[in-house]
Structures are given as C-alpha cells and as structure tokens.
Amino acid sequence: IELTTDAEFDAPIIDLRATASMRDVINAHHYLPKTLPPKVLDWLDGAIGGGSISSATFRLSGPLKAFPYRNGEGEFLIKADFRDARFRYAPDWPEVTNASGQLVFSGPSLYTVQNSARVSGIDVRNVNARIADLRDGIVELEASANTDLPKVLNFLQNSPVRKFTGA
C-alpha cells in the first residue's frame, strides 16, 4: 500500500494491491467499500447466502475523493473466484445454489463471468449478470440451460411469474 497526500489530507492518493480468500462469504458485504450505495449493500447483505472465495485480487489506485472512478480517474477492481455459493437475487424467486464463477467489481459496475449454478433443480451455465452502475441497481442477466418441462414449471410455480401464467 502506498498513500500520498498533502499536509491537510485534502487530496489523498492511494495505490493498494491485495489478495485474499474467504471460507464463508456470508459476511462478505462487510468488506466492501461503504461508499457503495446503501441499497446495494443492503441487497448484497440479504442476497448472499453462503459459499467460499478461493482467490480474490483487489486493486485500488487513484485519488480517494474520485472513488469509484466513474470517469477513469483511477482504478477500482475486485476479482473474486467463488464456489458453492447460494444467492437470493430477488424476493420470492428461487434461490441460486451450487454457484461458481468469478465476480468482478470494476469501477462503478459489477458483473460475473465463467459461471454455473443451479436454480429450482435446473443446471444453468454461461450465466452472465451485470450491473452497469451500482447506483442504478439495474441487473442484466443471461444464462442457458437444457432441462425438462417439469423443472421449468417448478421454477415458474416458485416465482412471481406464477401470478401471470397460472403455473
């Protein structure tokens, strides 16, 4: 870690690199920057149900006042390889289980890559989730799966979609 500043500490500049691992991610949200929007921190607090991080890298470089570097003033990057994760992404939707992949915080965005998971007994792969700007909290999600109709119906019956489909 390197920290440079003026005598009044008005313009601190940081250069930090770190690595970590975590056996149980249930409290991982406590380690995220508190400058993230409260709704995002609350969402992560309720959504993360377990799992582990085998390897994570952390990079924070630039003027602290410009964090999270929306305009390229510095770099904020966390890459975390996770496995056996449980995640409740939204109320009333089935929980994601047996998830593995990589979670990336990059500047103001959050996304996942190289993912697989299980939802309502359906094995899902090529899961790509992205929040372009954590202030907005809009999630874009893509995934693929090969499964049978009873599992799809089970998923629909255990989600808010049931109100619209009669499933």
pLDDT by residue (tens digit) across 45-57?
888 899 999 999 9
Question: What are residue 26's phi and psi, to 5 degrees?
Answer: -55, -30
Q: Is 145 exposed, middle or buried (0-12, 13-18, 19+ CB in 10 A)?
A: middle
* pLDDT top residue among 162 and 59: 59
pTM for the model stands at 0.84
Query: Which of 127, 104, 121 shows the shortest CA–CA distance to 156?
Result: 121
Looking at residue 167, its pLDDT comes to: 55
Determine how many CB atoms are found less than 10 A away from the CB of residue 95. Answer: 16
Q: In what order do the strands lie in the sheet with 139-144?
A: 2-4, 13-22, 48-63, 75-87, 96-106, 109-119, 122-131, 139-144
- DSSP secondary structure string, 69-84? -TTSSSEEEEEEEEEE
Q: Which helix (H) or strand (E) holds 112?
A: strand 109-119
* pLDDT top residue among 153 and 37: 153
How many Å apart are CA 62 and CA 18, to the nearest integer? 15
**Token pair for residue 160?**
């808010």
Whether 68 shows a pLDDT value over 70: the answer reads: yes
How many Å apart are CA 60 and CA 90, to the nearest integer? 30
Whether 4 shows a pLDDT value over 80: the answer reads: yes
Looking at residue 43, its pLDDT comes to: 83
Q: Are 117 and 124 in contact (CB under 8 A)?
A: yes
Whether 74 shows a pLDDT value over 70: the answer reads: yes
How many distinct helices (H) and strands (E) make up the chain? 3, 8
Looking at residue 35, its pLDDT comes to: 76
